[in-house]
Every structure is written in structure tokens, then in C-alpha cells.
């Protein structure tokens, strides 16, 4: 990548695919986005970056936040504790499926990237109450992005809180099976705030650079996440990050990545780049349709694949 202009040309090409996608509206406040938007920041590990599209526009992380809460909880509790309650296997099912919780014995969510697993992970964030758990999570995200202004979008959080009946069902099922403990409404409150954490492509790409550097801050050189935890997160991103499209994505792009229903994609090219993309028109599996095309083009042109 040599210039913003070169990146802009790829964005224009990828944007054409937006018309085949649809903005998510099962969380009503997300339905307001313009399906034609496409923006990207590529943050290099030497602290330079390229942008294209409306890269300053903020969007909510949705499922991308699952990678960040997982990193925090692994730091809080250690691997043994976390993986007693959440598995390590891809599902091949949609992100919000309840099916395998009932059919697998003992009942535990298959991985931390599906909603059931992510709810169980958020339930493990340390803190004496909801406020302390939230503060610890948002401070961690702010440190990763090096941006103290990052917060959550109240309208999107409220909109999801009011409509998250399936996520509540997943929680009650897991509570019955001793995977989660405590008050379900408080957990849904924390989870919907987590999903509504809002930032732009630059912030997300900057967090990606921390992962590309195996946990080091690209500016200060400070270690923010232990290396073995970054490795676990990146592995889940490869095997489960794009849900039931993860296999195809591994073949076509070949880097750790995580999508969200807002249209965000968080991608990490190890030792090279952190990438933040926003393109709210989604394909039928809930991934940004133009964002995927853009990553495919970049991966071909700049040999991203780790495989």
C-alpha cells in the first residue's frame, strides 16, 4: 500500500457490492445506517496509516467487542477457569443460535465468539458490581485504542436491551446449567453496553495494531495484553470470527478477523497491520458485504494470508 488514493480506488470498487447487502435492523437503532457507506483505516505497526472513505464516522462494535472482552477475561481469570465454562470449537451455526446449547452434553457454549459464549465471557469480567465491571472493560478498550474519549452509544445500547429476548433466553439456559451466575438483567445491561461501544475505523485499526504486535502498544511499546492471550484471541478470530463464513474467509483472505452486525470488521495482519472497516450493508451471514470484498482485494494484492 503506497497511498490513500490507492486505497480509495479499492474502496470504490468494493462499494459496488453494498447494494446486494442489507443493514441489520433486528436491533432497531442500527437500521438507520446508510448501506452505501464503506470506510477503512489500515494502521501499520510502525505507526503510519492509510485511510479511505468516511473513516471518522463512528459505529458500534457489536460482536467485535467479543474479542476485547475475551482478552480482558483471560487476563482476569486465566485460561483454565474460562475454558471450563466456554469451549474452543467453531459451530457452523448462526451467531445467535441456541440449538447446540441444548443438544451438547455437558451443556456449554462452543466458543466465545457466538452470542452464548460471549455472554458467558462478559459474565466473568471481574468487578464488585455492574459499574465496576463496565469501568474496567471501557478503560481496557480506551488503553488499547489510546483514546480516553471512547464510550458507548446509549441509543443503540437501549435499543438492544429492549429487544434482546433471544440473548436473555441464552442466559437463562446457561444459568440453569451453571455456566453463568448472578442477575440476567444486569448481564444483558453490561453486554448491550459492551456491544454498543462506539469508535471509528482509525481507533479500531489502532487496536488491531496492538494485536498485530502480539500485545504491545505501537506508540509506547508497553505490553497491554500477554502474548499467549493475544494468540488465543487471534486463533478464535481465525476459526470463529466470521461465524459460519469463517472457513471461506480463511481461504479467501486468511487473517484473524472479527465482524459485527453494525458492519464493522476488525482484522489483524500479524506483524504488519491492524485494520478497521465499516460497511453496514450485511450479507446473509451477518458480515459486511463490501467490507469482505475490500479485504479480499487487499489480501490478493498485498499477500495478507498467514497460511
Contact 56, 10 (CB under 8 A): no
The residue within the footprint of ligand DON, chosen from 97, 115, 153, 244 (CB under 6 A), is 115
Q: Which is nearer to ligand DON, 213 or 282 (CB)?
A: 282
Which of 33, 37, 160, 203 is in the footprint of ligand DON by CB under 6 A? 160
Q: How far is the CB of 118 from ligand DON (least distance, A)?
A: 7
Question: What three-state secondary structure class fits 246?
Answer: helix
Burial class (CB in 10 A: 0-12, 13-18, 19+), 8: middle
Q: How far is the CB of 164 from ligand DON (least distance, A)?
A: 7
Q: Which of 191, 202, 234, 255 is catalytic?
A: 191
At residue 160, the 3 state secondary structure works out as: helix
Report in angstroms how near the CB of residue 191 gets to ligand DON at its nearest: 7
Start-end of H helices in the chain? 4-15, 65-77, 79-85, 99-103, 115-123, 130-145, 154-163, 165-176, 184-195, 201-212, 227-240, 246-252, 289-302
Is 191 one of the catalytic residues? yes
Active site residue 63: yes
User: Is 81 a residue of the active site?
Assistant: no
Q: Is residue 291 at the binding interface for ligand DON, with CB under 6 A as the rule?
A: no
Interface residues for ligand DON in 33-72 (CB under 6 A)? 62-63
List Cβ neighbours of 32 (8 Å cut-off, separation of 6 or more): none
Q: Of 45 and 62, which CB lies nearer to ligand DON in the complex structure?
A: 62
Q: Is 95 in the site for ligand DON (CB under 6 A)?
A: yes
Which of residues 43 and 152 has its CB atom nearest to ligand DON in the complex?
152
Is 274 one of the binding residues for ligand DON (CB under 6 A)? no
Cis peptide, bond prior to residue 167, ω within 30 of zero: no
Which residue of 259, 263, 275, 276 would you call a contact of ligand DON, by CB under 6 A? 259
Segment near ligand DON (CB under 6 A); pick from 32-40, 77-85, 142-150, 255-263: 255-263
Residue 96 CA from chain centroid, whole number: 15
Tell me if residue 262 is catalytic. no
Contact assessment for residue 266 and residue 67, using Cβ atoms and an 8 Å cutoff: yes
The answer to whether the annotation marks 89 as part of a ligand binding site is no
Q: Name the minimum Å distance from CB 263 to ligand DON.
A: 9
63 is in an annotated binding site: yes
Rounded to whole angstroms, what are the CA distances from 236 to 1, 31, 64?
27, 28, 12
Closest distance to ligand DON from the beta carbon of 180 (Å): 15
In the annotation, is 186 catalytic?
A: no
Among 40, 125, 157, 195, binds ligand DON (CB under 6 A): 195
Instruction: Count CB atoms within 10 A of the CB of residue 293.
Output: 23
Query: Segment contacting ligand DON (CB under 6 A): 51-59, 72-80, 257-265, 289-297?
Result: 257-265
Residue (1 or 169) nearer to ligand DON, CB: 169
Contact 226, 215 (CB under 8 A): yes
What values do phi and psi take at 115, rounded to 5? -60, -45
Classify residue 175 by burial, with Cβ atoms within 10 Å: 0-12, 13-18, 19+.
Answer: middle
Can you tell me whether residue 35 is helix, strand or coil? coil
Catalytic residue list: 63, 66, 191, 243, 261
Residues tagged in the binding site annotation:
63, 115, 160, 167, 191, 243, 261
Which stretches of the chain bind ligand DON, using CB under 6 A?
62-63, 95-96, 115, 160, 167, 195, 259-261, 286
Amino acid at each position: 500500500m503506497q497511498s490513500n488514493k490507492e486505497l480509495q480506488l479499492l474502496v470504490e470498487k468494493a462499494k459496488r457490492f453494498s447494494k446486494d447487502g442489507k443493514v441489520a435492523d433486528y436491533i432497531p437503532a442500527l437500521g438507520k445506517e446508510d448501506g452505501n457507506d464503506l470506510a477503512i483505516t489500515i494502521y501499520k505497526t510502525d505507526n503510519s496509516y492509510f485511510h479511505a472513505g468516511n473513516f471518522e464516522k463512528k459505529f458500534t462494535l457489536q460482536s467485535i467487542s467479543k474479542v476485547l472482552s475475551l482478552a480482558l477475561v483471560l487476563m482476569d481469570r486465566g485460561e483454565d477457569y474460562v475454558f471450563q465454562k466456554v469451549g474452543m470449537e467453531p459451530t457452523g451455526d448462526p451467531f445467535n443460535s441456541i440449538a447446540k446449547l441444548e443438544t451438547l452434553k455437558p451443556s456449554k457454549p462452543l466458543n466465545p465468539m457466538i452470542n452464548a459464549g460471549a455472554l458467558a465471557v462478559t459474565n466473568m469480567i471481574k468487578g464488585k458490581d455492574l459499574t465496576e465491571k463496565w469501568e474496567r472493560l471501557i478503560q481496557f478498550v480506551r488503553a488499547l485504542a489510546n483514546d480516553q474519549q471512547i464510550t458507548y452509544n446509549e441509543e443503540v445500547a437501549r435499543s438492544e436491551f429492549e429487544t434482546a429476548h433471544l440473548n436473555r433466553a441464552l442466559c437463562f439456559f446457561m444459568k440453569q446449567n451453571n455456566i453463568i451466575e448472578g442477575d440476567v438483567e444486569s448481564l444483558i445491561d453490561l453486554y448491550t453496553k459492551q456491544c454498543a461501544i462506539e469508535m471509528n475505523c482509525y481507533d479500531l485499526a489502532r487496536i488491531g495494531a496492538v494485536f498485530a504486535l502480539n500485545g504491545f502498544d505501537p506508540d509506547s511499546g508497553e505490553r497491554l495484553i500477554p502474548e499467549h492471550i493475544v494468540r488465543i484471541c487471534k486463533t478464535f478470530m481465525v476459526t470463529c470470527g466470521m461465524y459460519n463464513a469463517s472457513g471461506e474467509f480463511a481461504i479467501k483472505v486468511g487473517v484473524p478477523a472479527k465482524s459485527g452486525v453494525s458492519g464493522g470488521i476488525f482484522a489483524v495482519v500479524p506483524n504488519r497491520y491492524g485494520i478497521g472497516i465499516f460497511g453496514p450493508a450485511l450479507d446473509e451471514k451477518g458480515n459486511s458485504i463490501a467490507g469482505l470484498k475490500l479485504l479480499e482485494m487487499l489480501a490478493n494484492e498485498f499477500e495478507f494470508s498467514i497460511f
